[in-house]
C-alpha cells in the first residue's frame, strides 16, 4: 500500500525550511537585544502561530514568558471579518508587561488590529508584533509590524503551522498547494 505524503500535494515551495528557520533565528537575535532586561511576554494565537513560536522562542536566550490564545472570527468567505471572540484566553495578566505577539501571517490585519487593541485595553506596557509572513497586498486594517520574517505575494500558503482545512500544518516549509487539492476537497 502506498503511504500518502503531503509533499505530493505541493505545487510550489515559496520558502524552504532552512531559509525560514535562518530568518526566524536572525529576527530572534534582534528581538533579544531590543528586549534585554524587559522580561517580555511572548503571545501566539493558536493554532497557526504555534510552530513559529517554538522556533522563535528557542532562538532567544533572555528571560521571557510564553502564553497562547485561541480566537475565532466569524465572517463571510475566506477573509477574516466580523466579531472576534476569545475561545481560550491567556493565563497571564498582561498589565504592565512588555508584550510581543508572535504571529504566523498578517493578511488583512483584522485579527492583529483587534488583538493589539485588546492587549492595550488590558494595560500592557508595550505591544509589538513579530510576523513570520506578511502579505502586504492584502492589508486592509492598520497594524504596525515591527519585526517580520518574509513578505510573500498574494497567494494562499500552507506549512509551518498554517493550514488548509486543518491539514498541512506539519509541512516544514511554506508552500502553495496544487489546484487539484482544492478541487478534490480536503487532504485525503
Q: Which is nearer to Mg ion, 48 or 109 (CB)?
A: 48
d(CA 185, CA 188): 8
101 and 129 Cβ atoms separated by less than 8 Å: yes
Instruction: Select from 9, 107, 128, 134 the one that contacts ligand 5GP (CB under 6 A).
Output: 107
Out of ligand 5GP, Mg ion, none, which partner does residue 109 contact, by CB within 5 to 8 A per kind?
ligand 5GP
Task: Provide the minimum distance between the beta carbon of 165 and Mg ion in the complex, in angstroms, as a whole number.
Answer: 9
Instruction: Map residues 143-172 to x or -, x wherever contact with ligand 5GP holds by CB under 6 A.
Output: -------------xxx---xxx--------
Q: Is residue 34 among the annotated active site residues?
A: no
d(CA 172, CA 7): 10
46 and 88 Cβ atoms separated by less than 8 Å: yes
Spatial CA neighbour of 133 closest among 164, 156, 167, 100: 156
45 and 158 Cβ atoms separated by less than 8 Å: no
Out of ligand 5GP, Mg ion, none, which partner does residue 159 contact, by CB within 5 to 8 A per kind?
none
> Exposure pattern of 150-168 as b/e (b: 16+ CB <10 Å)?
bebeeeebbbbbbbbeebb
Q: Which is nearer to Mg ion, 45 or 84 (CB)?
A: 45
- DSSP per position, 123-139: T-SEEEEEEEEE-GGG-
Interaction of residue 110 with ligand 5GP, rule CB under 6 A: yes
Binding residues for ligand 5GP restricted to 55-84, rule: CB under 6 A: 79-80
Interaction of residue 34 with ligand 5GP, rule CB under 6 A: no
75 and 82 Cβ atoms separated by less than 8 Å: yes
Interaction of residue 108 with ligand 5GP, rule CB under 6 A: yes
Task: Provide the minimum distance between the beta carbon of 112 and Mg ion in the complex, in angstroms, as a whole number.
Answer: 8
Q: Which is nearer to ligand 5GP, 61 or 70 (CB)?
A: 70
Residue 47 DSSP code: T
Catalytic: which of 11, 107, 154, 163? 107
Interaction of residue 15 with ligand 5GP, rule CB under 6 A: no
Instruction: Select from 20, 27, 35, 48 the one that contacts ligand 5GP (CB under 6 A).
Output: 48
Task: List residues with catalytic annotation.
Answer: 107
Amino acid at each position: 500500500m502506498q503511504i500518502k505524503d503531503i509533499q505530493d500535494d505541493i505545487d510550489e515551495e515559496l520558502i524552504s525550511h532552512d531559509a525560514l528557520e535562518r530568518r526566524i533565528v536572525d529576527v530572534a537575535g534582534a528581538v533579544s537585544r531590543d528586549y534585554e532586561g524587559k522580561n517580555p511576554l511572548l503571545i501566539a494565537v493558536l493554532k497557526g502561530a504555534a510552530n513559529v513560536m517554538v522556533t522563535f522562542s528557542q532562538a532567544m536566550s533572555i528571560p521571557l514568558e510564553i502564553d497562547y490564545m485561541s480566537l475565532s472570527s466569524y465572517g463571510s468567505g475566506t477573509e477574516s471579518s466580523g466579531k472576534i471572540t476569545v475561545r481560550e484566553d491567556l493565563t497571564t495578566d498582561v498589565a504592565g508587561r512588555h508584550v510581543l505577539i508572535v504571529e504566523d501571517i498578517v493578511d488583512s490585519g483584522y485579527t492583529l488590529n483587534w488583538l493589539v487593541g485588546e492587549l492595550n485595553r488590558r494595560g500592557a506596557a508595550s505591544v509589538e508584533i513579530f510576523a513570520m509572513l506578511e502579505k502586504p497586498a492584502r492589508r486592509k486594517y492598520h497594524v504596525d509590524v515591527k519585526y517580520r520574517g518574509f513578505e510573500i505575494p498574494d497567494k494562499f500558503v500552507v506549512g509551518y503551522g498554517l493550514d488548509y482545512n486543518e491539514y498541512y500544518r506539519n509541512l516544514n516549509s511554506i508552500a502553495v498547494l496544487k489546484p487539484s487539492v482544492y478541487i478534490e476537497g480536503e487532504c485525503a
